[in-house]
Structure 1
Amino acid sequence: MSTSSAAPGRGGPADPPGERPPMREALVAAAFRLFLERGYERTTVEDIVTLAGVGRRSFFRYFPSKEDVVFPDHERCLTDMTAFLAASPEDADPVARVCDAARLVLRMYAENPAFSVQRYHLTRQVPGLRAYELSVVWRYERALAAYLRGRLSGRADGTLRADMIAAAVVAAHNNGLRSWLRSGGREDPRAAVDHALGLAQAVFGDASGAPVAPRVAGPADVVVVAARRGAPLWQVVREVEAAFGRD
């Protein structure tokens, strides 16, 4: 839920009739080649389409802005996640279900480790991309919260609980994901994310509200972060990252 990173070419609109299938992939590949060579700020859309050998209109047919070419699969992943949650069985535990929804995002990252790591470093260097990334994280969180609000509507604290669970699941997923990205994509991404999501489930329990024993947890694994009411999401995320000593 941090930056999406399936292989360039998945997601986004289908290639229009008559277009050569690799056009979208060519645009992403050209963009990242230039970002690495020249830097993000010094690369223009015109530079990208020239290198890709396509027209300017072709770029905007696939990507509304230069920022969007850095995150080519967010829309597809968000759509997949929303459909996954909508298809949830009535007896599915809602906390476990949103954790599984988060794993869909992890799977997207793991499909192309090199691309994921490359983009991770790029977003660390460009403040504008980091801000864009946070806005996308918020959309994932809202999708999870919307599902949880429906499932927990019978509880007096259902809305509050839904929002807290969604925020916790996103934070847990991103913590494990970034640990994998910092390793250069060499480690198993599932281990860190499963551990973090297990802690989230342990805190919020199952559908009945009963606590669930964490798979692996100890005193040193729990971090409490306080934030003032109304604090913007980016500020809360920054506090969580600082507490874990992460980027």
Structure 2
Amino acid sequence: MPRSGAEARRRLQQAALELYRERGFDQTTTAEIAARAGVNERTFFRHFPDKREVLFDGEADLRAALARAVAEAPADLQPLEILLFAFRKVERILEDNRPFAEPRLHVIAVTPALRERDLAKTASITEAVAEALRRRGVTDRLAGLAAHTGWAAFHQAIQSWIDDSSQSLDAHLLQAFDDLRALSATAPPAQARPGD
């Protein structure tokens, strides 16, 4: 039996991930996850509201850390540079969780219910980041665009890091933002609107 709540939580997450990979998400019950983790089902529900959330633990911490990092970024940075600063601040959260993150991404990719939950979590994070930018005086329109674009670059960096661990997450993140800058630098001028 796990001795602490943190240990039980970690074992439940690992058990769920193993079972989802072996049997699939839909074929796995919370009772089976609890049994694999060496706890009872009541303990599962003390830690997680449902079997989807077991793979999304830490999302609230990441969201709060990103909002805090946006607030702490140097005053002279532009919105995308603020986001790069913030993403670099939270890299440790992901690096410490890499053994869980890689298989988790594969399970989410093949499970529609988990992809749906992942999209909801992403929306929550990007809205928190956009709100943090607004509090810094970035206009509403630009804050939303920066948050979505920055998150896309961050997600790209994470996927590249999972696929190629020969470089650090930081190196992949810097490359993703360099690519983003290159895309915007080479974009053709905006087309004239009809009637202009």
Please report the TM-score for the alignment, with normalisation by the length of structure 1: 0.66
Equivalent residues in 2 for 1:1-247 (5 A)? 19=4, 21-88=6-73, 91-95=75-79, 96-152=81-137, 158-183=139-164, 185-200=165-180, 202=181, 217=182
Query: Which residue in the other structure is 1:245 paired with?
Result: none
1:199 & 1:163 partners in 2: Cα distance?
20
Q: Conserved in 2, the CA contact under 8 Å of 1:120 and 1:181?
A: no
| 3-state SS, counterpart of residue 26 of structure 2 | coil
1:57-111 deviation per Cα after TM superposition (whole angstroms, max 9, x unaligned):
211221111111112211121122223334456x352522222222344432222
Task: State, as a whole percentage, how many aligned pairs show the same letter.
Answer: 28
Deviation at 1:169, TM superposition (A): 0.6
Deviation at 1:223, TM superposition (A): 7.6
1:32 & 1:148 partners in 2: Cα distance?
35
Q: Which runs of 5+ in 1 are unaligned?
A: 1-17, 203-216, 225-247
| 3-state SS, counterpart of residue 173 of structure 1 | helix
2:186 & 2:59 partners in 1: Cα distance?
30
2:121 & 2:6 partners in 1: Cα distance?
27
1:189-234 deviation per Cα after TM superposition (whole angstroms, max 9, x unaligned):
222211222454x4xxxxxxxxxxxxxx479x9689xxxxxxxxxx
Equivalent pairs counted in the alignment come to 185
1:175 & 1:223 partners in 2: Cα distance?
20
Q: Which one has a larger percent helix, Structure 1 or Structure 2?
A: 2
